[in-house]
Amino acid sequence: MACGEEMQDMREYLCESCKKELSTDNANKCDVCGRIVSEGTCRYCRENKKPYTKVYSVFEYAEPIDKFINEFKEQGMTIYGRMFTKSLIEKYDDFNIDNIDLITSVPANKLRKIARLRNAPRFFARALSKHTNIEYSNKCLVRKGFSKAMRKKSSRQRMEIAGRSYFKGSYDVTGRNVLLVDDVFTSGSTCHVCANLLRKNGAKSVAVLVMACVRSK
């Protein structure tokens, strides 16, 4: 498998020891955004009030998880889908996220929907909805326009771009406790803007669940 260890179940791609090593369980995480930090709350969260209650992450966005996520989106590899879904469900049960009554996902723009074989946030959210029997809607948020990859952008630039890209959708979230699902949490700008839109549209609360989070610098 990924680490070279022979496994009995060939439908898996990470052994249990790899999952444990790559998990964020034993890492120091920001009290708010969930990114891995030296201690306490990261600088970004100290300086900015968040529209979400907390970010929950399954893995750190590091090798080989970053590779698996990208290959799942670009190549649609089913084995990664099974692995991520299983890990997500296991961690969701451990997180004990209370009072969620609606699940939604960060929307993709039309061009990326066409270019990619998998819409990872939607895939993960729907799998979680099926497991929990909590309603899922992909109409809570809308993404418009097209923006280039933001890897080299500053946090401020990312926030400005996200603010121009996401809009409230047609689904009524008034009074709902919403779980927003995304694949990767980098600077937090996308989740910040999307959660803020959900709150402005009437959501009672918003929690965020991501497959992987980037280590805070």
CATH for the stretch 27-213 = 3.40.50.2020
Q: Say yes or no to pLDDT of 10 above 50.
A: no
Least confident of 159-163, 192-196, 207-211: 159-163
Phi and psi dihedrals of 124, rounded to 5? -65, -40
Among the residue ranges 127-136, 141-150, 180-189, the one predicted with the least confidence is: 141-150
- Higher-pLDDT residue of 133 and 62 is 133
> So where are the chain's domains?
27-213
pLDDT above 80 for 174: yes
- Binned at pLDDT 50, 70 and 90, residue 125 comes out as very high
Evaluate the CA torsion angle 77, 107, 146, 151 in order and state its sign.
negative
For residues 42-69, average pLDDT:
87
Contact, 210 vs 184, CB < 8 A? yes
Lowest pLDDT segment from 39-43, 115-119, 137-141, 182-186: 115-119
Residue type, 12: E
